Amino acid sequence: MNELIGVGIIVAIAALLMWVYKRIMVKHTKMKLGVIQVLADGAVVEAMNHEINPSSDLPFDGSIIASFFASFLVMRESGVGANYYGLLSMYLFKWELAGIIKTKMITDAEVHLTFDDTKRPTTEVELELYEVLKANDMFGAPGMDFDLLHDWSKKMLALGEATLLETKDVAFDSKDRIRFTRQGYDKSLGHGSFEKYFRDISFSTFCEMDAHRQERELSFALLLGLIEEIETHVNSNQHVPEVLQIANRVAWVL
């Protein structure tokens, strides 16, 4: 009996440590406002947090992949890597809405995930991610083994880079390093504007939105690591819409 109690305590401590680790990772993967950026033409720019105005406009005209790569460029200057936690959470959110996966909250720090074998993603990048995650049983384990996602991760960065090169939001500098153009940098400030807006949005305002808008805003909230804001809405209100509950659950699967 004492051994069982000891094992239970160890499991509980491990779950708590993982919960704390995820919180720390979320904080480190949010946009780094105030970081100095060098543009492709050599100009030096910096936007401080107090200079960013809140806006409900979705960054980069609602492009997830453009926003993902743009956030990578911003965070790169402060020594932080790409926010794969946010990107993966966004895909899990999309998949559960489509009935491809199902999540269930077990404890405050544990979420159980199951796959529906009758449904699969349709796009190439999503299908590749889906197959890697399912084949390696990567959910429910202590942390994500991103080594298994190395090829997919590189592909996503390359896709984001190509997208922003096409729109001329990034370009190569004189040393052949990819950097924002002036217009791309201005667009990247939309991340901070959306974050400020989403942090202050009321629960009643969110509930008044149509379903499509709710899904879009929550997708970007997950991508940008605004997990605490989502969780606060869920824990502080009754009759929470299912879409908000799903966003809260998938945020803590990884």
DSSP for 114-161 reads EE-TT----SHHHHHHHHHHHHTT-SSSSS--GGGGHHHHHHHHHHHH
Over the stretch 4-19, which tens digit does the pLDDT of each residue have? 555 455 544 544 444 4
Tell which wins on pLDDT, 21 or 141: 141
Q: Closest Cα to residue 248, out of 22, 57, 63?
A: 22
Q: Closest Cα to residue 68, out of 47, 91, 44?
A: 91
Measured CA to CA, the distance from residue 180 to residue 160 in angstroms comes to: 13
Over the stretch 183-214, which tens digit does the pLDDT of each residue have? 999 999 999 999 999 999 999 999 999 999 99
- Per-residue pLDDT at 148: 79
Tell which wins on pLDDT, 141 or 145: 145
Measured from the Cβ of residue 63, the count of other Cβ atoms closer than 10 Å reads: 17
Over the stretch 84-103, which tens digit does the pLDDT of each residue have? 889 999 999 999 999 999 99
Amino acid 199 reads R
Over the stretch 41-68, which tens digit does the pLDDT of each residue have? 999 998 777 778 999 999 999 999 999 9
Tell which wins on pLDDT, 243 or 118: 243
